[in-house]
Amino acid sequence: MTTRATELLRVIHARPGVTRADAARLIGVGTGATTELVGRLGHAELLAEAPAAPSGSRGRPTTALIPHPRGPLIAATSITHEQWRVDVVELGGAALATIREDLGDRTGDEVVAAVGAAVARLRTEYGDRIRGIGIAVPGTVSRDLMLDASNLNWRNVDLAAIWPKAGIFVAGNDATLAASAESHRGAAVGASVALHLRVEAGLGGAVVDGGRVLVGALGAAGEFGHMPFGDPTVECPCGAYGCWGTAVDGSALARLLGHHQPRDPISYARRVIASTDPAPAAATATAATALGRGIAGLVNGLDPDLVTLGGLGTDLLAAAPAHINQAYRAGLMGFRRENPPPILPSTLGDDGPLAGAAEEAWTALLTTLV
Amino acid sequence: MTTRATELLRVIHARPGVTRADAARLIGVGTGATTELVGRLGHAELLAEAPAAPSGSRGRPTTALIPHPRGPLIAATSITHEQWRVDVVELGGAALATIREDLGDRTGDEVVAAVGAAVARLRTEYGDRIRGIGIAVPGTVSRDLMLDASNLNWRNVDLAAIWPKAGIFVAGNDATLAASAESHRGAAVGASVALHLRVEAGLGGAVVDGGRVLVGALGAAGEFGHMPFGDPTVECPCGAYGCWGTAVDGSALARLLGHHQPRDPISYARRVIASTDPAPAAATATAATALGRGIAGLVNGLDPDLVTLGGLGTDLLAAAPAHINQAYRAGLMGFRRENPPPILPSTLGDDGPLAGAAEEAWTALLTTLV
DNA sequence: CTTCTTAAGCTCGGATGTGGAGCATATTCT
DNA sequence: AGAATATGCTCCACATCCGAGCTTAAGAAG
């Protein structure tokens, strides 16, 4: 049951710096109920009031609703192929602290231990204010919090070690979480249905419907890279043939250019896409065409308002927009061609997964605060 | 804001014949609040109580909560390529009356007029108890309720003429609505995420997530038949190439068999699929393989608990289960192969779209009843 | 500098819905 | 017939919320 108190906290979280009067109007309560609500939530150390920027117009000035200085916090974590990072995030999405470190040659369990130590350090500083954690990882997370990241050669890494305490624990795929971030704080704000796609080693993403990320029955939705939009003769590491991911990522570029599979396919792909030599440009164009064609298929099936591209997708969109768009339009159903959903670059870039981890953990936490 | 009253009505709708005590436990209220709730909703003529079947165990017997004999009703309508039908449906999904008629050679506007007349007749019988209408059509419905059904050669047929009054008005694609019905009353009951696919002339369907049908930004989601899983050299009537729908429906079978495109592709396909001659059986196997391969792609991307097949999909599943399943398994990501989501025939069959129209209209109505 | 206008916040009373304790009721079991 | 069990009802307390009327804090007008 959604109470007014939860609604108010959600509004403050979604629109940091909202004024008290605006927030009351947004949730549709009168001034009397607002007095009671703000007083109660302030007393519970969930929010505080600060002088608002002067509006310049007549009337009694209102205040800005801000996170309480002793209010709850979320630890947001991301692990990428290069580094790990932990942020302490308050209501509204602002970060109070950051710890980060390169992965180096560490194993998965060593990285989890390092992240756990960082979280423990932050807990000595912030104490029980940290009510939960959100973790973005470049792989799949099972129900029992075991991480598999084929890209990093990690198998069965136990994420539970990061956060032994009770509270909120959200862990998910980086592309899925980036989709959430893009919908709440990025290029897809306001979309009723948004599709976010993230190309790194392979391709992932998510559909966000009315602010809710569709995570699927096992939490494994969004593996759009394994839809058979690609070349049916190419075998994917997943075991299937024709996976779309194998047609758009670094491995695809290497195959098109006759190179060995690169050790770091993401940096490799960035170099290829940035190159203006004819051979790399042609490979980039081919990958961009495959990307556009697949996006069209997903748009036909899922009917989003817009599509956002993250990771290497952003690079491809910048380097070969014409190839993406031509293949996109050609693949759309007739009635969509007149006014196709726009394909936009992600605005959060590499911070997307971390921001999404914070977002999903905060969403979960908000339902538990009264 | 979801009130207890709405929750109770939803429980009664979802589980017709539920006992009062069970319903109270399901929504988590005590016996005191239950007395107040049932009294209030009974007084509002939304529900009534009937003697429940004896439980056989000790304790004071409870009653069954049933729709009120003067309670609200929904008119559920479906238009197929063969006939139209209007049911009057009460809370819980039971039909009180049915009117149906073959389409014959009527135009779209004539059919809409006939359906409108049937609804008007039912309104003289049931009066203002009929609070709204749900309509399932074999085509796409725009925001302003204009229907395009290329299969029937209907363009810009105005559905608003069926229901001139205020109230609930829900209109949608038959495959999308069948997905809703399958999730609420059919083979996908209890699934957290269900994918329903319906092959008729082309292929459509929907994802149902936690009981909510994902309708997309324009209400056009579920056009999975226009994802490019098919032969890239085949042009689809939609203007794109390689659409999956062109690889699995009656037009695909005719192409494989070297036949002209049939006038009624659904009856044609039923005949081909039912045939045991070698050529039709081979064509059926090819279509079944294309169906299984595409299902695998969708399962990889959308992560449903299970997949239900309606329309000709049911026939294909009965005629060539091995071909569907082999292609399905081959296309799944490795980690899914051990325990793949089952592919099940629809249990509602041809009644799916009508049942879904009733379901969606009732869902909409329930949010408006206090 | 005073008064007017405007927007916002506060106080209070009443309506509503909910939760729990204790009692009443209807059935099966012994 | 009495015990055991499950359910329903009455009553009271509490939290929430809405609206009316009043108060407060700013800019605008003179």
Of the candidates B295, B350, B339, the one whose C-alpha atom is nearest the C-alpha of residue B317 is B295
* Beta carbons of A297 and B228 less than 8 Å apart: yes
Rounded Cα–Cα distance for residues B331 and B353 (Å) = 29
How confident is the model at residue B179, as a pLDDT?
Answer: 98
- The predicted pLDDT at position A1 comes to 52
The correct answer on CATH 1.10.10.10 for the domain covering B4-67 is yes
Strand C lies under 7 A from the Cβ of residue A2: no
Indicate yes or no: CB of B333 within 8 angstroms of CB of A238: yes
CA distance B34 to B30: 6
What nucleotide is nearest A31 when CA is compared to C1'?
C9
Domain B189-345 matching CATH 3.40.50.280: the answer reads no
- Please, which residues 196-225 of chain A have a Cβ atom closer than 8 Å to chain B? 207, 209, 214-224
Q: Which pLDDT value is given to residue B170?
A: 94
Residue B54 gets which letter from DSSP? P
Phi (first) and psi of residue B125, to 5 degrees: -80, -45
Q: Would an 8 Å CB–CB cutoff place B156 in contact with chain A?
A: no
- Separation between Cα atoms, residue A366 and residue B35, nearest integer Å: 32
Taking contacts as CB-CB distances below 8 angstroms, the residues of chain B near A298 are 227, 301
DSSP code of residue A235: B
| Residues of chain A below pLDDT 70 | 1
Is A228's CB within 8 Å of B226's CB? no
Beta B130-137 vs B95-102: how paired, if at all? unpaired
B139-162 pLDDT, tens digit each: 989 888 888 888 888 989 999 989
Q: Which residues contact A346 (CB under 8 A, 6 or more apart)?
A: A178, A182, A186, A187, A196, A198, A308, A309, A310, A311, A313, A314, A352
Interface residue A297 vs chain B (CB under 8 A): yes
Reading the block at residue B139, the tokens are 């085509």
Q: Which nucleotide is nearest, taking the CA of residue A49 and each C1'?
A: C9
Q: How far is B226 from chain A (nearest CA, A)?
A: 6
Nucleic acid strand D: bases within 7 A of protein CB: 4-12, 16-21, 24-28
Q: B246 contacts in A (CB within 8 Å)?
A: none
d(CA B23, CA B158): 41
Tell me, yes or no, if B38 comes closer than 8 A to chain A by beta carbon: no
Q: Which residues of A touch B220 (CB under 8 A)?
A: 303
Cβ neighbours around B224 below 10 Å, total: 30
Nearest CA in chain A to B207: A302
- Does any CB of chain A come closer than 8 Å to the CB of residue B300? yes
Could you count the other beta carbons within 10 Å of the beta carbon of residue B18?
Answer: 20
pLDDT per residue as tens digits for the range A204-221: 999 999 999 999 999 999
Q: Is the CB of A36 under 7 A from strand C?
A: yes
Interface test with A, best of B173, B192, B198, B209 (most A CBs within 10 A): B209
CATH code: domain B73-178+352-368 is: 3.30.420.40
Tell me, in Å, how far CA of A26 is from C1' of C9? Answer: 17
Separation CA B203–CA B329 (nearest Å):
21
How many other CB atoms are there within 10 angstroms of residue A365's CB atom?
Answer: 21
- The whole-angstrom separation of Cα B193 and Cα B209 is 5
Rounded Cα distance between A283 and A324, Å, is 13
Interatomic separation, CA of residue A16 and C1' of nucleotide C2, rounded (Å): 39
Give chain B's residues under pLDDT 70.
1, 370
Contact of A152 with chain B, judged by CB distance below 8 Å, is answered with no
CA dist list (Å): A43 to A35, A40, A89, A215: 12, 5, 21, 36
CA A124/CA B93 separation, integer angstroms: 57
One fold for A4-67 and A187-347: no
Q: Which residues pair with A344 in a beta bridge?
A: A308
Q: Find chain A residues with C-beta within 8 A of B294's C-beta.
A: 228
A187-347 homologous superfamily = ATPase, nucleotide binding domain (3.30.420.40)
Residue among A194, A226, A191 at smallest CA distance from A213:
A194
**Identity of the residue in A238, A304, A333 whose CB atom sits nearest the CB atom of B240:** A333
Residue B19's closest CA among B69, B55, B63, B67?
B63
> What residue ranges do the domains of chain B occupy?
4-67, 73-178+352-368, 189-345
Q: If we measure between CA atoms, which residue out of B366, B363, B361, B362 comes closest to residue B169?
A: B361
Q: Tell me how many residue pairs between chain A and chain B have CB atoms under 8 A apart.
A: 137
Q: Give the one of A1, A241, A301 whose C-beta lies nearest to B223's C-beta.
A: A301
Contacts of A331 in chain B (CB under 8 A): 228, 240-241
Contacts of A4 (CB under 8 A, 6+ apart): A27, A29, A33, A37
Q: Which residues touch strand D (CB under 7 A)?
A: A 3-5, 28-33, 36-37, 40, 54, 56-61, 370; B 19-22, 24, 30-32, 34-36, 38, 57-63
Q: Given B239, B293, B341, which is nearest A228 (Cβ)?
A: B293
Which residue spans within B52-201 are E strands per DSSP? 63-67, 73-79, 83-90, 95-102, 130-137, 140-141, 146-149, 154-158, 168-173, 193-200
